[in-house]
Copies of this chain bind each other. A is one copy, B any other.
Amino acid sequence: MDLTSKQSKIFNFLKDFILEKDYPPSIRDIQNHCDISSTSVVDYNLKKLEEKGLIRRDKEISRGIELLGTNNMRSHTVRIPLLGKIAAGKPIVLPEEGVTDNFSNSIELSREQVGTKSDLFALQIKGNSMIDALIQDGDIIILEKTNQFDNGDMVAVWIKSDNATTFKRIYKLDNKIKLEPMNKRMKAFFVKPNDFNVQGRLVTSIRNW
């Protein structure tokens, strides 16, 4: 269902107004700026916009209009905890359960960039131990907290017998797990299927030049 010219005019005004003022316009604001003869016409068309799913209105509340969909600038970003630097071989400190709030250091990414994934955390790479994965010193990597993995995934994996977490490329073999550093100079090693736990999987990497 398409918008009439008056409706798209109103809708655009809503976006502009909210962008500028950070609060929605009143019906009379809309009336004046869109050259509409009567408040009832504005009300009428706002009802239409609501029927068409573009806005939501709260009854009897002044300026009680909310933009829906991608026009709503709410939640366009996600704040992700930056847990620290990760160096070759050094163990990673992973976040507590469910504690994705209240972190001292964090980065902000657009939701578009991370998709619908939740439970994300970030690490900064120190050194060039991941150079084969085209990740270098200073890069930021974003991980998704999960214990699933596919062959070849780059994961943060906890080795029980070592009592430590490292970052490796993982492969499932017949009766063991191969963990391969992302640097040719270091050798791969193997763990027993019950001696490890995947804690997170690489999702995105970012470099500021």
Q: For the complex, is A183 an interface residue (Cβ under 8 Å from B)?
A: no
Interface string of A56-93 (1 = CB under 8 A from B): 00100111111100001110110000000000000000
A203 is contacted by which of B67, B109, B209 (Cβ under 8 Å)? B209
B206 x A23 contact (CB < 8 A): no
Q: Is the CB of A209 within 8 A of B66?
A: no
Are the CB atoms of B77 and A26 closer together than 8 Å? Answer: no
CB interface residues, A 137-163, toward B, < 8 Å? 154
- A-side interface residues, number (CB < 8 Å): 39
A185 at the interface (CB under 8 A from B): no
Q: Is A97 an interface residue (CB 8 A)?
A: no
A24 in contact (CB, < 8 A): yes
Q: Is A22 an interface residue (CB 8 A)?
A: yes
Give residues 100-129 of A contacting B (CB, 8 Å). 107-113
Q: Are A134 and B77 in contact (CB under 8 A)?
A: no
In Å, the complex CA distance between A61 and B24 comes to: 11
CA A134 to CA B182, docked complex, whole Å = 13
Across the interface, A76 reaches (CB within 8 A) one of B26, B108, B112, B136, namely B108
- Whether the pair A21, B113 counts as a contact (CB closer than 8 A) is no
Q: How far is the CA of A205 from the CA of B209 in the complex (A)?
A: 8
Could you jot down 26 A-B contacts, CB within 8 Å? A19-B74, A21-B58, A21-B64, A22-B24, A22-B67, A23-B64, A23-B65, A62-B63, A63-B63, A73-B74, A73-B77, A76-B76, A107-B112, A108-B111, A108-B112, A109-B109, A110-B113, A113-B206, A134-B134, A134-B135, A202-B209, A204-B206, A204-B207, A204-B209, A205-B206, A206-B206
| A positions within 8 Å CB-CB of B | 19, 21-24, 26, 58, 61-67, 72-74, 76-77, 107-113, 131, 134-136, 154, 202-209
Known: A77-B110, A204-B206, A206-B207. 20 other contacts (CB 8 A): A19-B74, A21-B66, A22-B67, A22-B72, A23-B58, A23-B61, A23-B64, A62-B63, A73-B76, A76-B108, A77-B77, A107-B112, A107-B113, A108-B110, A109-B113, A110-B110, A113-B206, A202-B209, A203-B209, A204-B208
